[in-house]
């Protein structure tokens, strides 16, 4: 066990503890709890509403038919809780499209100038191309992404299927297009997706929407396809969160004095908000990980796409050497009291290379042990030794951040009968 005693954290505004403004993060609150087809089940949600087409709600306590969708398997589990949602897009060879979206009313309006942190679990169920066999090699490669919108009132979307355009009453605040989203390979694993944005103030609704409008240029081969063939892709959603980012994060860390302290800011901050941040320390160093050599206050700026969050780390050194007590007298008379002589070492560190030796007045070894639990019973080769003063030497090593440290002590003990 390393000498680092542990990290004591305190945060003025903790992202993890901040209020989630999404009233039903996991799609759990239903008006009616009956098991229904996923398309109909979504309408039973109390806090979410569909923006366009027919988003799905999957209830893990309901038996669903896998044949109903190429993207569904009964083995798929929610990220948390009992339910998860599903949204899809479909890009047709005649340049029309279908883009599903969902929205919810926030617990409270957003504040002007405040930066907000958005997070959700997503599972990419891949894509499906419905071309007929004659043009099966014609590959549509749509510009896949998921967009986040906010609005001061209920969000509406108007998809014009005739000319491939779309309009909405909401403001686009983020485009999610990481590899976890753009891949066409189906996955059964959840991925946490994050972003952040600055509010204009007064927004009360948030929407999660598949791409609006066209998805890009259709390849020439698609023109020869019969009407209705398509390219679609599908995502499961769960645990949607929206929280105000902190104005400052303050933390304390403790470590053993005379050692260096290795700081990994991503591990210390423990939130995915900072996974793409640049960390600029007060001396100009740009580093996610750094070794501190002395106590003090270290100020850092976490530079995000949506702003800067100050971080203050107070590094406090602490004496971590083990407490050692060695008795000065013992009586190996088998009365059950003080019959054995050995050191007592109080430490939460790993002890290695332990050596304990006892000598008589002429310097000869009368007892030795390489095991912490093994003490001296006052004998030498089963012979009880005379009462008197004996001398001891203790040596062991502890593991520290700077390598093994040797601890040595010596003294004397009075043996009485």
What is the set of domains in the chain, with CATH numbers?
A: 38-244 (2.60.120), 249-318 (2.60.40.10), 323-415 (2.60.40.10)
User: What rounded mean pLDDT belongs to the chain?
Assistant: 85
What is the reported pLDDT for 405?
80
Q: Express as a percent the part of the chain with pLDDT over 90.
A: 44
Q: Which of 124-138, 171-185, 263-277 has the highest mean pLDDT?
A: 171-185
Q: Is the dihedral of CA 38, 42, 46, 47 positive or negative?
A: positive
Whether pLDDT at 247 is above 90 = no
Q: What is the pLDDT of residues 307-329, one digit of tens each?
A: 888 999 988 877 777 889 999 99
Q: What is the pLDDT of residues 32-83, one digit of tens each?
A: 888 888 888 999 999 999 997 889 999 988 887 776 677 888 889 999 999 9
Q: How far apart are CA 155 and CA 153, in angstroms?
A: 6
1 — pLDDT class (breaks 50, 70, 90): very low
The token duo for 22 is 């999404």
What is the reported pLDDT for 167?
80
Q: 193 exposed, middle or buried (CB, 10 Å; 0-12, 13-18, 19+)?
A: buried
What is the reported pLDDT for 245?
87
From 50-59, 86-95, 218-227, 343-352, the region with the lowest mean pLDDT = 218-227
Per-residue pLDDT, averaged over 14-35, amounts to 85
396 — pLDDT class (breaks 50, 70, 90): very high
From 34-43, 88-97, 123-132, 329-338, the region with the lowest mean pLDDT = 88-97
* HSE value, Cβ hemisphere, 13 Å, CA-based, for 7: 17
Whether pLDDT at 20 is above 80 = yes
Q: How far apart are CA 362 and CA 369, in angstroms?
A: 20
What is the reported pLDDT for 174?
93
Residue of 1 and 8 predicted with greater confidence: 8
Residue of 336 and 30 predicted with greater confidence: 30
Residue of 58 and 129 predicted with greater confidence: 58
* Ramachandran angles phi, psi of 257, nearest 5°: -65, 155
Query: Which ranges of 141-255 would DSSP assign to H, the alpha helix?
Result: 179-182
Whether pLDDT at 12 is above 70 = no
Per-residue pLDDT, averaged over 160-177, amounts to 81
Q: How far apart are CA 35 and CA 98, in angstroms?
A: 26
> Of all helices (H) and strands (E), which one includes residue 346?
strand 344-346
What is the reported pLDDT for 214?
64
Per-residue pLDDT, averaged over 188-202, amounts to 93
What is the reported pLDDT for 8?
36
Going by C-alpha positions, the residue among 140, 145, 129 that lies closest to residue 218 is 140
Contact by Cβ (8 Å): 213, 165: yes
What is the reported pLDDT for 192?
92
Residue of 8 and 111 predicted with greater confidence: 111
Whether pLDDT at 16 is above 60 = no
Residue of 96 and 316 predicted with greater confidence: 316
What is the reported pLDDT for 279?
93
* HSE value, Cβ hemisphere, 13 Å, CA-based, for 239: 16
Whether pLDDT at 5 is above 60 = no
Residue of 375 and 295 predicted with greater confidence: 375
Per-residue pLDDT, averaged over 193-203, amounts to 93
Whether pLDDT at 231 is above 60 = yes
Report DSSP letters for 44-104, one per residue. GBSSEEEEES--EEEETTS---GGG-TT--TT---SSSSEEEEEEEEEETTS-EEE-EEEE
What is the reported pLDDT for 46?
96
């Amino acid at each position: 066990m390393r000498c680092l005693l542990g990290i004591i954290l305190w945060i003025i505004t903790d992202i993890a503890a901040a209020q989630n403004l999404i009233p039903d993060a996991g799609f759990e609150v239903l008006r009616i709890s009956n098991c229904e087809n996923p398309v109909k089940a979504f309408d039973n949600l109390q806090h979410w509403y569909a923006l366009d087409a027919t988003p799905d709600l999957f209830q893990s306590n309901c038996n669903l038919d896998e044949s109903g969708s190429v993207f569904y398997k009964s083995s798929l589990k929610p990220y948390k809780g009992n339910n998860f949602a599903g949204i899809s897009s479909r890009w047709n060879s005649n340049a029309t499209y279908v883009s599903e979206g969902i929205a919810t009313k926030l617990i409270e309006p957003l504040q002007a100038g405040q930066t907000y942190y958005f997070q959700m679990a997503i599972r990419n169920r891949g894509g499906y191309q419905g071309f007929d066999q004659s043009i099966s090699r014609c590959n549509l490669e749509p510009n896949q992404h998921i967009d986040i919108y906010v609005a001061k009132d209920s969000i509406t979307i108007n998809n014009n299927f005739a000319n491939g355009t779309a309009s909405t009453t909401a403001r686009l605040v983020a485009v999610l297009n990481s590899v976890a989203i753009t891949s066409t390979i189906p996955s059964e694993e959840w991925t946490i997706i994050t972003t952040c944005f600055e509010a204009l103030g007064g927004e009360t609704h948030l929407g999660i929407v598949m791409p609006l409008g066209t998805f890009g240029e259709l390849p020439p081969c698609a023109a020869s396809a019969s009407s209705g063939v398509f390219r679609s892709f599908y995502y499961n959603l769960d645990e949607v969160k929206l929280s105000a980012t902190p104005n400052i994060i303050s933390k304390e860390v403790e470590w053993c004095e005379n050692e260096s302290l290795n700081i990994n800011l991503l591990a210390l901050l423990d939130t995915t908000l900072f996974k793409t941040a640049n960390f600029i320390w007060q001396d100009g160093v740009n580093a996610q990980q750094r070794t501190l050599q002395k106590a003090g206050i270290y100020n850092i700026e976490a530079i995000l796409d949506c702003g800067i969050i100050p971080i203050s780390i107070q590094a406090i050194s602490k004496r971590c050497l083990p407490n050692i007590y060695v008795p000065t007298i013992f009586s190996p008379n088998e009365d059950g009291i003080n019959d054995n002589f050995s050191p007592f070492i109080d430490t939460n560190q790993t002890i290695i290379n332990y050596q304990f030796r006892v000598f008589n007045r002429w310097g000869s070894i009368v007892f030795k042990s390489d095991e912490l639990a093994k003490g001296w019973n006052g004998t030498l080769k089963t012979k009880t030794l005379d009462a008197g003063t004996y001398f001891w030497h203790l040596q062991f090593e502890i593991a520290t951040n700077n390598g093994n440290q040797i601890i040595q002590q010596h003294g004397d003990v009075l043996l009485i009968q």
